């Protein structure tokens, strides 16, 4: 594999907020990893910034109906993919559920690796609280050294949670790094950089025919977050996705009006009118039914188990009458709320303990005319098969078939938890959303 950081992009000027791009041999393609839960004006701002910098086509790898906080998205996969195209994206690919609900490391490896595997993505763009890309790369490289992992184990042995132990170890080895790793968007930004220097890069290298093809990795690009902080109140005309979800829950879909691109609101309104929004009470009941009575051995088969957490969750599932009670009963200083949630969801969805570093295929959910044109380049260059048909992708390998069945089952579970429960099989029968927007 030939790795390069020179894709004709003037990163210094892009980073400074005054995007300029040198003359490129082919139109620049930027990749974004997102949940779009929901797509809002902050997401549109990032796309606009990339276009002002000379990027021609925007490819998004988007979580399906379940997201990294180990819960359901506010609306199903196909609705959010269509809204992403309406908001300015050109091509939307599915991030399969084992990676979509994984820890930050697994989430980033799967998403960044999938974008890199397409063979045509020049830039991997992401938001961060601290948008100094050299600093973020430095922290990422720190996380890859063995001395760092050894120090983390020392802090873990003292009873700290993994996030706290990691931040403490980073701070000790690189003053200032601990503070970077305490901010949610920074954490993912560092993990994207780490993936392109670690396991995702190595997995891509292993897929290449020996000596037959030079392969270029995307350049990581950090953009500053605008407006509202993660989980914060609206600011400067922008609202966070978590605030918007709470507003919809309290006031209805009309609450999105000032905060989302105008072309997105009708898509969301139609989804609500047809009952395609998640019903959190149905979701909670379905989760509790699936988990109650399971043995610790069953919990132990899924990602996030270990150190006795499977025993605590099995016991909590027998006692809890709400999901929050279940999480509270299982949580300890060592087992963070997020880890408890992820193991509960992974068990409910029967996710594999070791899904691999990156997805074995690219499932196309939606595209504009520019996105459709890019698919021709992807077909020529991609290391993984790409298709609008999940069934067709399942026939490409035994691993792909197993993943397709897992993904379809997760989508069917979500469909039963909507305001208007839907029949199963939608992951196979629903067509990709193609738009005439250029």
Q: What DSSP string runs through 131-157?
A: --HHHHHHHHHHHTSHHHHHHHHHHHH
Mean pLDDT lowest for which of 8-17, 202-211, 344-353? Answer: 8-17
Select from 300, 335, 354 the last residue of a domain.
354
Sign of CA dihedral 434, 30, 210, 94: negative
- The DSSP string of 350-400 is T--S---SS-SSEEEEEE-HHHHHHHHHHHHH-SS-EES-HHHHHTS-HHH
Do residues 18 and 85 both lie within one domain? yes
Per-residue pLDDT reduced to its tens digit, 195-247: 999 999 999 988 887 755 567 899 999 998 776 565 667 888 899 999 999 99
414/343 same-domain check: no
- Give the domain CATH number at 415: 3.40.50.620
Average pLDDT over residues 395-401: 96
- Predicted confidence (pLDDT) per residue in 254-276, tens digit: 999 999 999 999 999 999 999 99
Q: What is the DSSP string of 278-308?
A: B-HHHHHHHHHHHHTT--HHHHTTSTT--TT
Are 309 and 366 in a shared domain? no
Q: Which of residues 67 and 333 earns the better pLDDT score?
A: 67
Domain containing residue 71: 11-129+183-230+357-434
Residue 142 lies in a domain: no
Assess whether 95 and 40 both reside in one domain: yes
Residue from 168, 177, 117, 176 nearest 141 by CA: 177
What is the three-state SS of 87-137?
A: CCCCEEEEECHHHHCCCHHHHHHHHHHHHHHCCCCCEEEEEECCCCHHHHH
Shared-domain flag, residues 193 and 110? yes
Last residue of a domain, one of 354, 386, 414: 354
Q: Does residue 104 fall inside a structural domain?
A: yes
Q: Does a structural domain hold residue 318?
A: yes
Q: Are residues 305 and 206 in the same domain?
A: no
pLDDT of res. 364: 98
**Would you list the DSSP string of 41-81?**
HHHHHHHHHHHHTTEEEEEEEEE-SEETTTEE-SS-HHHHH
With 80 as the cut, is the pLDDT of residue 388 above it? yes
254's enclosing H/E stretch is: none
Residue 286 has pLDDT above 60, yes or no: yes
Rounded to an integer, the average pLDDT of 377-388 is 95
Torsion sign across C-alpha atoms 362, 373, 91, 189: positive
Please tell me whether residues 96 and 194 are part of one structural domain.
Answer: yes
Q: What are phi and psi of 293, to 5 degrees?
A: 90, -5
- Residue 25: the pLDDT is 65
Same domain flag for 193 and 336? no
> To the nearest whole percent, how much of the chain has pLDDT over 90?
82
Number of domains present in the structure of the chain: 2
Of 354, 375, 392, the last residue of a domain is 354
Same domain, 283 and 344: yes
**What's the confidence (pLDDT) of residue 159?**
82
- Same domain, yes or no: 345 and 366: no
Q: Among 17-31, 43-57, 147-161, 214-228, whose mean pLDDT is lowest?
A: 17-31
Inside any domain, residue 270 = no
Q: What is the mean pLDDT of residues 76-92?
A: 98
Answer yes or no: is 138 within a domain.
no
Q: Is residue 242 part of a domain?
A: no
Whether residues 78 and 222 fall in one domain? yes
Same-domain pairing of 120 and 202? yes
């Amino acid at each position: 594999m030939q790795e390069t950081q020179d894709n004709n992009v003037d990163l210094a000027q892009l980073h400074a907020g005054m995007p300029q791009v040198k003359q490129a041999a082919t139109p620049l393609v930027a990749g974004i990893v997102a949940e779009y839960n929901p797509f809002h004006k902050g997401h549109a701002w990032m796309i606009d910034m990339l276009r002002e910098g000379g990027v021609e086509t925007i490819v998004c790898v988007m979580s399906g109906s379940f997201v990294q906080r180990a819960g359901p998205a506010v609306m199903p996969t196909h609705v959010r993919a269509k809204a992403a195209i309406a908001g300015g994206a050109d091509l939307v690919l599915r991030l399969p559920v084992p990676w979509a609900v994984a820890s930050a490391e697994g989430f980033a490896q799967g998403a960044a690796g999938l974008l890199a595997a397409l063979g045509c993505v020049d830039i991997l763009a992401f938001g961060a609280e601290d948008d100094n890309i050299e600093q973020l790369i430095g922290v990422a490289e720190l996380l890859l050294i063995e001395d760092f992992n050894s120090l983390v184990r020392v802090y873990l042995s003292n009873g700290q949670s993994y996030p706290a132990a990691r931040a403490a170890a980073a701070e000790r080895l690189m003053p200032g790094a601990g503070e970077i790793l305490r901010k949610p968007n920074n954490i993912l930004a560092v993990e994207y950089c780490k993936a392109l220097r670690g396991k995702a890069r190595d997995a891509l290298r292993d897929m290449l025919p020996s000596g037959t093809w030079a392969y270029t990795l995307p350049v990581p690009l950090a953009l500053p977050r605008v407006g509202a902080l993660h989980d914060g109140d609206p600011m400067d005309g922008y609202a966070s996705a978590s605030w918007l979800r709470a507003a919809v829950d309290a006031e209805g879909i009309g609450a999105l009006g000032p905060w989302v691109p105008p072309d997105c609101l009708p898509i969301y309104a139609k989804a609500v009118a047809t009952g395609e929004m998640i019903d959190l009470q149905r979701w909670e009941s379905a989760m509790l039914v699936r988990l109650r009575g399971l043995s610790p051995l069953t919990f132990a088969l899924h990602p996030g188990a270990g150190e006795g957490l499977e025993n605590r969750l099995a016991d909590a599932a027998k006692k809890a009458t709400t999901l929050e009670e279940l999480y509270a009963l299982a949580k300890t200083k060592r087992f963070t709320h997020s880890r408890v949630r992820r193991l509960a969801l992974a068990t409910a969805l029967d996710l594999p303990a070791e899904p691999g570093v990156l997805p074995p295929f690219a499932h196309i959910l939606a595209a504009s005319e520019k996105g459709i044109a890019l698919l021709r380049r992807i077909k020529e260059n991609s290391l993984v098969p790409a298709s609008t048909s999940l069934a067709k992708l399942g026939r490409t390998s035994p691993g792909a078939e197993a993943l397709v069945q897992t993904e379809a089952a997760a989508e069917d579970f979500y469909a039963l938890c909507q305001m208007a429960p839907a029949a199963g099989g939608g992951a196979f029968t629903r067509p990709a959303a193609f738009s005439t927007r250029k």
